[in-house]
Structure 1
Amino acid sequence: MNSIQADPFVRNEREEQIASRSDRLAAIFAKRASLHDREGSFPFGNFDDLREAGYLKLTVPEEFGGEEASLYEMLLAQERLAKGDGSTALAVGWHISQILQMRIKQSWPRKLYAEFCREAAEKGAMINQFASEPSTGSPSRGGRPQTAAVKTEGGYLLTGRKTFSSLIPILDQFTVTAFVEDEERVGTFFVRKGPGVSIDETWDTLGMRGTGSHDLLLKDVFVPEDERIDSCEAGEGAAAGTGMSDHGGALLHIPACYLGIAWAARDFAVKFATEYRPSSLQGPIAELPHIQQKIGEMESEWITARTLLYSVADRWDRIPAEWAFMRPELGLAKTVATNSALRIVDLAMRIVGGSSMSRSLPLERMYRDVRAGLHNPPMDDSVITMLAQRAIRECRECK
């Protein structure tokens, strides 16, 4: 029985096709992952394969030639892709999740939105939004960007530095947040690579080394007035739609990625345990009680985290009216998944033993990669605070 047939979260033929494509791509990426990790190089070849397979149009609306995947379907695709290479999955996850958010918010100018979606579907154009900065940290903490947007004839001039700019080596366009001096508020701008845009190759990290998350430098970069994203209200020059916020739904691509890495580590450890037979034993180490204990603990963590992630995604897809209320659960799904992934990979290394630290095996890379999940939004403390505040609010409203 293959992994798709055995996976209870693959519910129909369309989801099976989405999962199968990711499995095929993951098998290819797994062969390259070690080299890109060692070199800290960006996996351009992986993105050629993603484009050729049609993966880059996964969440693009059908009207523009895309697959219009639901959140649930996006997570299925991402989790399985990460089994091959976590860096590639996390990086492309920012692209497909941004397009999912665009589809929901419908805040882009109508013409720009249609043009980009067609480019994404037909040519594999990609996008990401850059908001983090050295002095303000994660935008989820509410810091005001130091990147400035100054009004000029016909548009704006943007100057600043963005950090954690995943995908920047391969992007021809992206969106950035900047403080609009004349308005005393933050704006969002569609920027194309060109004069004034450069990359400072700062990305040299413990894990997720292949995401290409270098610093982006902007120096008097001109953005036309009609390519400012946030200034266009839905239904008034914007793409027709609800103008809704997804309240963090699209960010579930993050926990899906880390669970995919953990899934690969789990598979590696279980296979090792069933095949490794030291001379001191009659059978493989999988027959030892303490090894079975660790395998059982991995299964407990993995099943619990996946069940929460997919149940939350299914509810999010079915009941948009509850999105605002679900925000704490969305955050909880992320924190449970990333912390479970850490535990699963740790257990996998304990099962394999000292050889798990060898760079000739994938576990030490997986161990480093899953740690990055602690630093992706939302953070653990923010999620706990959201859960507490909601419980307190509900208690007061019941009085």
Structure 2
Amino acid sequence: MFLDPALLARIRERAAGYDRDNTFFTEDFEELKEAGYFTAMVPKEFGGPGLSLEDITREQMALAGAAPATALAVNMHQVWMGVANTVYRTGDTSMNFMFEAAMAGHVFAFGVSEAGNDLVLFGSNSRAQAQEDGGYTFYGTKIFTSLSPGWTMLGTFGAEEGPDGEQVNVWGFVDRDSGVQIKDDWDTVGMRASQSCTTVLDGAYSPAERIVRRIPSGPSGDPFIFGIFANFEILLASVYTGIGARALEVAVETVSKRTSKATGTTYSQDPAIRWRIADAAMEMDVLYPLIAQAARDVDAGVDRGSLWFPQLSNVKSQATETALRVVEKAVRVSGGSSYFNRSELSRLYRDVLAGLFHPSDDESVHGAWPMPCWGRLRGSSGAY
């Protein structure tokens, strides 16, 4: 493991305080930087450790088990590192600057989501305006911008009208001191330490060398778009799998300590409770190979054709929905004490709810599976 147990233990100790005070995970952030975690996916040829996407899924599961909100926010940086790797493996050097920037201490965040915009990666309400030097300025409002207090570069996009009137999505990276306003508006049920504040772009500038794509609006098979989708879905799945695993661990510890006055034995000996915990463990057991295979295939450049996007959506959906059920089962077997805010399970229950709101949501996942695909699953990639 890249993240050592002592570091994870310190991060776990701080998680409840960040949640209670609704503050950014400043100490975690500094320790993770010092440990080199923000450079973990930088290829060795650029001076980094060269961890793969599959490697990072395991690290993110462990980090989420210690502090879900910290893991979710750090996810955004690791997703961009994964995208840069996906693009780099195709021979495209347009995102190599990110490896150099990460090694220099930069931290990346996502400025993509917009209120009421369900096109997500394929269209934007924001505006991109070309500059004479080849750079662009961006205007618009982005929501759920995790890592708000800590990022130094924001990956974002806006729409530009092309010469024939068509909409073109322009993707670039802006500095936080260039036409960016970060609102102090993060006050949520869970994932509070992520501080995923609303970000207003008012002439936020990206120089030409950081404009990484100009793509017609709508679905795209560009490796850049695929890289965002693949790394985002797989790493989100990893975070929520880590939450489910931790909830199961806490539940086992709890029922092993609670004693029934009726039977004189611990609750861990109750057949009904053992069944519920086993049921939760069986659900969790399915997620690990699902995530590992998807990450391995992305790392290897496996072509699953038209099935890639629905299958990636499914990885995220299976993980978030399973984690939600597992945390609820953990709460049920642990008794009324888990209803108090001081309980870790109470926090995990609130944190896991955020999985419902990340793309792809459960409705779009089901809508992404056209019937002609169903008969081809068996031979698609070895993943099913």
Q: TM-score, normalised by structure 2?
A: 0.87
Counterpart among 227, 247, 254 of residue 265 in structure 1: 247
Q: Are positions 1:219 and 2:202 aligned together?
A: yes
Equivalent in 294, 300, 324 of residue 342 of structure 1: 324
* Cα distance change of structure 1 residues 367 and 272 upon mapping to structure 2, 3 Å threshold: same
Aligned residues of 1:177 and 1:188 also touching (Cα < 8 A): yes
Does the CA contact (< 8 Å) of 1:199 and 1:215 recur in 2? yes
Q: Does 1:91 align with 2:70?
A: no
Q: Please name the residue that 1:166 is paired with.
A: 146
1:133-152 paired onto structure 2 within 5 Å: 133-137=114-118, 139-140=120-121, 142=122, 144-152=123-131
Cα deviation 1:178-206 (Å, max 9, x = unaligned): 11135531111211122421111221111
Match 1:175 to one of 155, 177, 180: 155
State which of 177, 190, 206 in structure 2 corresponds to 1:207: 190
Give the equivalent residue in structure 2 for 1:29.
Answer: 11
CA distance in 1: counterparts of 2:247 and 2:132, whole angstroms: 55
Equivalent-residue separation in structure 2 for 1:390 and 1:378 (angstroms): 21
Specify whether residues 267 and 393 from structure 1 end up closer, same or farther in structure 2 by C-alpha distance, changes over 3 A only.
closer
RMSD: 2.6
- Bigger shift: residues 346-355 or 64-73: 64-73
Q: Which sits farther off after the overlay, 45-54 or 380-389?
A: 380-389
Tell me, in whole angstroms, the C-alpha distance in 2 between the residues paired with 1:152 and 1:304.
50
Aligned partners of 1:22 and 1:380: how far apart in 2?
A: 34
Cα displacement (A) at 1:262: 1.1
Paired amino acid for 2:43: P
Partners of 2:290 and 2:204 in 1: CA distance = 43
Report the more deviating stretch, 354-363 or 214-223: 214-223
Partner of 1:53: 35
| 1:132 aligned residue | 113
For residues 222-301 of structure 1, the aligned pairs below 5 Å read 222-231=205-214, 245-246=226-227, 248-251=229-232, 252-301=234-283
The 10-residue stretch of structure 1 (152-161 or 292-301) with the greater mean CA deviation from structure 2:
152-161
Q: 1:157 to 1:334 in 2, by over 3 A?
A: closer
Would you say the 8 A contact 2:83–2:228 is kept in 1?
no
Tell me if 1:44 matches 2:26. Answer: yes
Q: Is the 8 A contact 1:36 1:43 kept in 2?
A: yes
Report the Cα offset of residue 230 of structure 1. 0.8
User: 1:305 & 1:66 partners in 2: Cα distance?
Assistant: 29
Residues 369-398 of structure 1: per-residue CA shift (max 9 Å, x gap): 111111112222222222334526859xxx
Q: Which runs of 5+ in 1 are unaligned?
A: 1-16, 233-241
Distance 1:115 1:336, change over 3 A: closer
What is the CA-CA distance between 1:149 and the residue it aligns to?
1.8
Q: Deviations over 1:26-85 (max 9, x none)?
A: 311111111111122110111111111111111111111212222211111100110011
Call closer, same or farther: CA 1:49–1:368 in 2, change over 3 Å.
same
Question: Helix, strand or coil for the counterpart of 1:30?
Answer: helix
For structure 1, which segment, 321-330 or 340-349, has the greater mean C-alpha deviation from structure 2 after superposition? 321-330
Per-residue Cα deviation, 1:183-236 (whole angstroms, up to 9, x for no partner): 53111121112242111122111111111110111212333333322149xxxx
SS in 2 for 1:229: strand
Aligned residues of 2:307 and 2:373 also touching (Cα < 8 A): no
How many pairs were matched up?
365
Equivalence for 2:219: none
Deviates more, 1:67-76 or 1:101-110: 101-110
Distance across 2 between alignment mates of 1:195 and 1:122: 19
Name the CA distance, whole Å, in 1 between partners of 2:23 and 2:185: 12
In structure 1, how many angstroms separate the alpha carbons of the residues matched to 2:172 and 2:342? 44
* 1:278 Cα deviation from its structure 2 partner: 3.6
**Partner Cα distance (1:247, 1:37) in 2:** 29
Residue 368 of structure 2 corresponds to which residue in structure 1? Answer: 386
Distance 1:175 1:316, change over 3 A: closer
Percentage of identical aligned residues: 27
| TM-score, normalization by structure 1 | 0.84
